[in-house]
């Protein structure tokens, strides 16, 4: 898929500039909004305060730029001026700022849980913070290996690469997955996220589920493989792979596409599957909620990551918006509900062209129930 992005930042202004892809400089590069007109009958109320603030996931940034552009158009059509300022500072920082009440909501590629969830409850006037999955996107196994254009990997081999057990590109474990391919006798250069990252958490969760026991390091937002070189942010990782022959990294497909990186096909037991929106959508459709009866929509990703469904690309990241369930003042609650309503509807138009998977109906239905349940503190 081709990704078009711009270098415009979405700030606290009344308009969004949309430009063509220029250079890759940071995670704050903005995405172009989807083509086509906004649905005039949007169900977003455009109520509440005029400016929302958010921060967190860099993987979510391109989608958030589109959501904001669409929201501005919707509200302008209703005679209201609204905006959302989103800073792509990383999932860990987003959760920290949300807990500290520095932003209205956080973007995170990992659900808020444990001690952070308890602190978020204090921030939300004694009510729970909810994890609402707004964005899905495939994570690429991006590599730089001139002459090897159709690399195939599986969960077990990736685990061994990222824990240092497999060190060379012509290792028998890689060769077995790539018959007839001339693999170089070259050391593998592992690149990982140096900052606290939900992408890292999802990647290590995938390895735990898909490596048949080869990955024993656990998950979490910090890389625990113990090998390689770290780079900050998704853009930093992609740039490191682009400039380092023999390297490999996990990075969102949009950044891999932007940097024109090679991406491996994944074989979960039913044959190699190349990364594509359609193949990722097959995996997303199988996602389940950890607690189906709750308005907190944390996903149980085990089934998706361990699936061997033919044609499904399993390594898909779910990115949440973390919100207070009933802990905002009235103006903030109305604005958050309105923005997320727009994001879940017209905001999904054209996301495939940006490297994301639009929300399937099974998730969108639950999501709208949760959004409508957001209420001010009593």
Known binding-site residue numbers for phosphate: 57-59, 91, 109, 197-199
**Rounded Cα distance, 284 and 273, in Å:** 15
Q: Tell the residue number behind the tokens 């990551």, with chain if given.
A: 305
Residue 373 near residue 54 (C-beta atoms within 8 A) = no
DSSP conformation letters of 338-374: HHHHHHHTGGGTTGGGGT-BPPPHHHHHHHHHHHHH-
Q: Judge residue 328's burial from the number of C-beta atoms within 10 Å of its C-beta, 0-12 exposed, 13-18 middle, 19 or more buried.
A: buried
Number of Cβ atoms within 10 Å of the Cβ of 295: 17
Residue 215 near residue 207 (C-beta atoms within 8 A) = yes
Is residue 63 within a helix (H) or strand (E), and if so which, with residue range? Answer: helix 61-77
* Exposure string for 224-256, b = 16+ CB within 10 A, e = fewer: ebeebebbbbbbbbbbbbbeeebbbbbbbbbbb
Residue 15 near residue 72 (C-beta atoms within 8 A) = yes
Pick the closest to residue 354 from 286, 252, 265 (CA basis). 252
Annotated binding site: 57-59, 91, 109, 197-199
């Amino acid at each position: 898929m081709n990704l078009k992005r711009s270098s415009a930042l979405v700030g606290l202004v009344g308009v969004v500039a949309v430009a063509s892809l220029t250079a890759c400089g940071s995670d704050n590069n903005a995405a172009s909004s989807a083509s086509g007109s906004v649905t005039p009958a949007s169900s977003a109320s455009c109520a509440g305060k005029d400016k929302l603030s958010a921060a967190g996931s860099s993987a979510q940034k391109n989608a958030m730029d589109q959501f904001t552009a669409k929201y501005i158009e919707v509200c302008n059509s209703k005679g209201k001026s609204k905006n959302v300022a989103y800073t792509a500072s990383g999932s860990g920082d987003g959760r920290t700022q949300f807990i500290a009440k520095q932003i209205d909501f956080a973007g995170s590629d990992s659900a808020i849980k444990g001690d952070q969830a308890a602190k978020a409850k204090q921030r939300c006037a004694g009510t729970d913070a909810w994890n609402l999955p707004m964005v899905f996107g495939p994570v690429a196994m991006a590599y730089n290996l001139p002459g090897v254009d159709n690399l195939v990997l599986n969960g077990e081999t990736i685990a061994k690469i990222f824990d240092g057990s497999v060190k060379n590109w012509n290792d028998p474990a890689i060769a077995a997955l790539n018959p007839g391919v001339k693999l170089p006798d070259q050391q593998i250069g592992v690149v990982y996220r140096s900052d606290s990252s939900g992408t890292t958490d999802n990647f290590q969760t995938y390895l735990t589920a898909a490596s048949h026991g080869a990955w024993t390091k656990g998950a979490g937002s910090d890389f625990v493989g113990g090998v390689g070189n770290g780079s900050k942010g998704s853009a930093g990782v992609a740039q490191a792979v682009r400039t380092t022959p023999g390297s490999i990294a996990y990075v969102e497909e949009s950044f891999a596409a932007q940097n024109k990186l090679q991406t491996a096909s994944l074989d979960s037991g039913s044959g190699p599957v190349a990364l594509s929106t359609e193949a990722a959508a097959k995996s997303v459709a199988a996602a389940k909620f950890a607690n189906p009866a709750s308005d907190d929509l944390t996903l149980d990703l085990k089934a998706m990551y361990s699936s061997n469904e033919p044609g499904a690309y399993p390594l898909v990241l779910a990115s949440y918006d973390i919100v207070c369930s009933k802990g905002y003042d009235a103006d903030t609650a109305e604005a958050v509900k309105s923005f997320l309503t727009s994001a879940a509807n017209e905001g999904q138009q054209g996301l495939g062209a940006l490297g994301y998977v639009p929300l399937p109906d099974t998730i969108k239905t639950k999501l709208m129930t949760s959004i409508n349940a957001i209420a001010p503190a009593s």
